[in-house]
Amino acid sequence: MQAEDVKVQQSATERVGERPAALLFSAGFYGTLAAARCFGRNGIRVTVADPGRLGPASWSRFVGNRVQCPPESQPEAFLAWLMDFGRRAPMSHVLYPTSDELAWLVSVHAKELSRYFHLYDPGIDAVYGLLNKRKLFEAGQSVGLTLPRTWFPESEADLESISREARFPVLIKPTTQILYSTHRKGLPVAEPSQLVEEYRAFARDGYAPMLVKFDPAVARPMVQEFHPEAAQGIYSLSGFVDRTGSLFEVRGAMKVLQRPRRLGVGVCFESAPVRQDLADGLRKLCAKLGYHGVFEVEFIQTKDDFLLIDFNPRYYGQMGFDIARGLPLPLMAYHAALGDSDALERVGQSARAWTGRGEVFCNRIALEMLLNLQRLSGALPADEAKQWRRWLQTHRQVSVDPLIDSDDPMPSAVEVAQILYGSARHPRAFLRMMVLNR
């Protein structure tokens, strides 16, 4: 065997002499860009892997190595590439998930991947228990958290029963977003008479065979009562919990604007106090499932309660907001993956000492497009547009943007170019999302 062949087969734990790099995926994801900037500003080398070349994170000045990989939607090809990259990389890497797919794939294949990468993986039972809505519903209720009224039908007879029991409108939602063909968040159903037909149509959106083989029941969507409050404000808790559960640091936020407005991606967030009862419930949930790592959890705030709707056991889109609020989550995951408990504790102490200034998070590029296009179309009243411009001006000094950064300007330029290209190529989809709120 040649010396080079021996080098290729070294495991991540055997490669010594230099600080491991961070391997990030999903270059179009704002959480990836936030992580790249966090790592780079802390002197950690960054590799970004993506199927394309135009994701904003790939163009950050903090990224030292850019590689192309198969899409995660092709899990067999993606895993083969990842294993090969791990074997051949001249330096070791810390691998932490940037998507539901990657969180699941890493947990399912953690034993093989740990030969080549530093992981902080809580195990498949924990990850799938949080990403599968049925399992999350059961676990959440068992620790005293409140969730929306939800059904998991197994037959059309069950759907008929739901039609009689439920308070309409309801949402048909996928059981999980892992390897889901369309990544639709959900489908509103206004009337009981529409439920069976709409459910049949929604169920045609399939999953990758790898996931169906793992869990055949995943193909059946769920039904959940719709809460209109979700369009006006989602409360979230995000943070980090270590393997022992003793380090548990969180930040609170309110999602105050999303696109599309009914079920969409957050555009604007405001800092909010941490509700201790919800934080305690999440801590119990993590302990029950054995979860440790980065998390972002969403609740619908109704007039009576806070209803748990989503738990993301991975990096998330507005993570830059929490980094700016003294919680460098990528750095915490990095130290935890390397087993550096002293460094992790130092970061945790610094996070606990943070005092806020009333920060807000605003994707200014998305906000300006939404306001301008919806005003032109008549979909947004003039008073509401003025309200949002006043909001932005009022918070300008404490606003955190996922893209615009004077110290790292290229990602925002790439994002604008991508938006212009996408709107020209798929104008109807662009209008549905930005103008029609669908």
pLDDT digits (tens, 9 = 90+) for 265-277: 789 999 999 999 9
Q: Which CATH superfamily is domain 3-127 in?
A: NAD(P)-binding Rossmann-like Domain (3.40.50.720)
Average pLDDT over residues 141-164: 96
Distances (CA, A) of 176 to 130, 160, 218, 254, 377: 9, 23, 7, 23, 34
Domain ranges of the chain: 3-127, 149-225
On the question of pLDDT at 133 being above 70, the answer is: yes
- pLDDT at position 4 is 34
> Which pLDDT value is given to residue 7?
36
Nearest in space to 117 (alpha carbons), one of 31, 4, 17, 22: 22
399: which 2 tokens?
């606003």
Are 3-127 and 149-225 the same fold in CATH?
no
Q: Binning pLDDT at 50, 70 and 90, where does residue 391 land?
A: very high
426: confidence class by pLDDT, cuts 50, 70, 90: low
Mean confidence (pLDDT) of the chain: 91
Grade residue 3 by pLDDT with cuts at 50, 70 and 90: very low
Biggest CA pair distance of the chain: 73
- Is domain 149-225 given the CATH code 3.40.50 in the classification? no
* Percent of the chain at pLDDT exceeding 70: 92
Residues whose CB falls within 8 Å of the CB of residue 393, separated by 6 or more in sequence, listed in order: none
Predicted structure pTM score: 0.91
Strands 360-362 and 265-272: antiparallel
* Contact (Cβ atoms closer than 8 angstroms) between residue 102 and residue 82: no
The arithmetic mean of pLDDT across residues 341-360, rounded, is 96
Pairing mode, strands 46-50 and 65-68 = parallel
